[in-house]
Each structure stands twice: as structure tokens, then as C-alpha cells.
Amino acid sequence: MSIPIVPESALATMTVHLDAIIDNYQTLKSKSSTADCAAVVKANAYGLGMTDIAPALYHDGGCEVFFVANLREAVNLRTALPKVTIYVFNGTTEDQVETILEHNIRPVLNDLNQIDIWRGQPAPCAIHFDTGINRLGLSEDEAELFLNDRPDLNVSLVMSHFIQSEIAGHPSNEMQLDRFIRYRYQLPDAKASLCNSGGIYLGEDYHFDLLRPGIMLYGGNPGLPKRPDGLKHVFELYGKILQIRHLRPGMAVGYNSLWTAAEEARIALVNVGYADGTFKTSDKCAKVFVGGHVANVIGKVSMDMIAIDITDDKFSHITVKDDVELLGANITLEMAAEVSTLGQYELLTGIGQRYNKKYIRGA
Ligand SMILES: *Cc1c(COP(=O)(O)O)cnc(C)c1O
């Protein structure tokens, strides 16, 4: 079924710069002289669109290994990219084996039960050792049983995941590295992978054979104290102004009258709300960028709109024709996270599905 086109003026827009994502991939890859670089494209490439971004990373970036969270994501990616290596973090259950094999997906086996299910398969798999995060992965006891038992498996990758790799001085990083090295040397034929985005900046000792960045491909900072050199912003969200209104002193805006005009005021209603993900009612002082200046979001965020204050003279030229930047080069993820209860990961993956999406190559 083809979807009828509507005029662009009806929709807020998400513009994704594929070249900037590829540049970030190359920047991350260049941090290691030994390791290859994969791409983590789970959660629809952190909300930005897996089936557009992963092919660009493969064809123009040379990325050949991808990680997703679940089998639905893996099968969707396989449809877009028939040749690449796809690992699925959540591993497998009995009933997923057939689909995994049919689509040539590699499960990341996270416990002895998953290992039992996969035992005897000639198709490759990864083994995830938990080195301290106590989430997925073989616990210390399970790892010992596994390494003594040596079940018949074709292990192509051993991996582990950091607790807080973005905090370079934290002792947990070295502790996890030591544990990982011990496991890694008992399976010397498999490739080894430890680093998410933050881990890459811990240095070569941590890199092993394969890097697994996610958020930094998409221009986000995992929490490093300084935004790394060369990391590019890769997308913009633009809302449309639906209406401009003049308020007399004492008039209040939106549900529950949370903002009241102290003086004569001019406000604009913009066509994005909490259903579009980037704003939360609890957020104080969320900002947008319009007509060359930062403006404040005022009142309660509605499902389909926000109000912004454009009273100041510097906004006098603004009309309903102006686009309003919600996130992008002027309202960065860093800035948005600062005034939000949400972090950069949550802001990114929370971007709603209602935007008109445009994928751009070239500057
Ligand atoms: C999400 C995830 C990554 C990527 O992490 P970023 O911090 O986004 O780079 C890597 N490895 C595992 C196991 C993950 O779950």
C-alpha cells in the first residue's frame, strides 16, 4: 500500500545527515590502530532510522558488523543488508533458533541456558561474559562452568559491557578489563569486543578486535567530560509555527495555566508536543532556536504542540513561515539534556515517529 503524500508544511521535520554519521564512524574507528569498528543500530538506530543509516554505514563507511537488541530488529536489518554480520544482543530462546538461522543472524549467548539451546550449531555465535554490570552475560560461576565444559560451539566473538566507561578514572574500568582479559585468553580463536562509545576513549588497552559504538555515531556524548574533537552533530528536528498570538498581561497559556504573561506578550504555537518525544511537561526552561535566537518553551507541553515566548524585540521579524529548531546544531543534545530530566540517550531514542524524515548525503 502506498502512503498518500501530504504537503511538507503539515509536518515537523527530522533531517539526518548520513555523511556526518559516516564521519563519526571514521573518527571512532581511527581511535584504534588494532580494532575494527562495528555499529550499534538497536532501537531503530537510536531513533534516527536503522534501515537508512545502516546501509549508508555499510556502502559508504565500510562497516560490516552490526549489533541490534532483538530479533525483530535483526531481521529488519537483514532485509536491508543481505551480506553483513548481524549480532543480536538478547541472544536466543528455543523458538527463535529457526528464524535466527534462516536469516543468518548471530546470537549473543548470555547464560548457560542460551548456550544449551545453541550447543552443537555449526553457525557462529558470540559469548557474553558479565564482568561486573550484572545485567546480561555469563556470571563468574557460569563462566567457570562454561570454560570447563567447553560445549561444542562455533564462537566468533567474545564480548563484555562496561558499567561506566565514560568516567575514565573509575576503578571499575580496569577491574572489568582484567576480568575480560582472563576470559578472552581462554577463547583465543574468537575475536574480542569490549568497547562501547565511552570505552573507545579509555585507550588502546581496551580496544581488542572490535569496537561497538552506538551513541557517538549519532553525535551524542555518552558523558565524557568534554565533547570529543571531530564528533559531528548528525540531525536536526524542526517544528512548524501553527499560529502566533498576542497576550495581554495576566493571560495564561495552556493546560492548567502554568505560565502567565506578566506584560504584553507574543507567543508562537509550534506543531510538536510530548507525543513527538523531545519535550516533557516536567522539564523546566526547555529551549528552541528560531529566527537566529534561542527562545523559551512556556507553559505545559501538550500532546501535539508547545508554546514559545517570542515577545522580545529580537523576535519581531518572526512569522508563521519560520521553522523552529527543536534539536540540532543550535539546540544540541547536550543543551537539551541540561534542562531536561532525560539524558542524551533517552532524548535520542525518544524522538517520536511523527516527523517527516529526510536523509541527506553530501554537505
Ligand atoms: C547499547 C550497547 C552498546 C553501545 O553503547 P553506546 O554507549 O551507545 O556506545 C554497546 N554494547 C552493548 C552491549 C550495548 O547494549
| 258-305 tens-digit pLDDT | 999 999 999 999 999 999 987 776 666 899 999 999 999 999 999 999
Tell me which of 29, 31, 42, 191 is the catalytic residue. Answer: 42
Regarding whether 272 and 152 lie in a shared domain, the answer is no
Q: Give yes or no: residues 142 and 244 share one domain.
A: no
CA–CA distance from 280 to each of 65, 74, 272 (Å)? 35, 31, 11
36 & 100 share domain: yes
CATH number at residue 168: 3.20.20.10
- DSSP label at residue 222: -
Question: Ligand 1, residues 135, 212, 333: which to mutate, most atoms within 8 A of Cβ?
Answer: 212
**Residues near ligand 1 (Cβ within 6 A):** 40, 42, 89, 161, 196-198, 212-215, 222
pLDDT 10s digits, 296-335: 999 999 999 999 999 999 999 999 999 999 999 999 999 9
User: At residue 183, what are phi and psi to the nearest 5 degrees?
Assistant: -65, -45
Looking at ligand 1, which atom is closest to the CA of residue 213? 9
Residues 244 and 211 in one domain: no
| Neighbour-count burial of 197, counting CB atoms closer than 10 A to its CB (0-12 exposed, 13-18 middle, 19+ buried) | buried
Which cell is 267 given? 507567543
- Here the cell at position 61 is 563507511
Residue 170 has pLDDT above 80, yes or no: yes
- Residue 253 and residue 339 share a domain: yes
Q: Using CB atoms within 10 A of its CB, is residue 35 exposed (0-12), middle (13-18) or buried (19+)? A: buried
Whether 233 has a pLDDT exceeding 60, the answer reads yes
Q: What is the CATH number of the domain that holds 255?
A: 2.40.37.10
Active site residue 42: yes
CA 135 → CA 110, 112, 130, 144, 160, distances in Å?
9, 14, 7, 18, 10
Domain hosting 301: range is 235-360
pLDDT at 172 over 90: yes
Cα gap 277→285, rounded to integer Å: 16
Mutate to test the pocket of ligand 1, among 89, 163, 344 (most ligand atoms within 8 A of CB): 89
Domain contains 338: yes
Mark out the alpha helices in the chain (DSSP H runs): 18-29, 42-46, 50-59, 71-80, 97-102, 112-118, 140-149, 171-186, 197-200, 333-338, 344-349
pLDDT band at 89 (very low <50, low <70, confident <90, very high): very high
Report if residue 74 sits inside a domain.
yes
Which ligand 1 atom sits nearest the alpha carbon of residue 69?
15
The answer to whether 300 is a known catalytic residue is: no
Distance CA(185)–CA(182), nearest Å, equals: 6
Tens-digit pLDDT profile for residues 44-86: 999 999 999 999 999 999 999 999 999 999 999 999 999 999 9
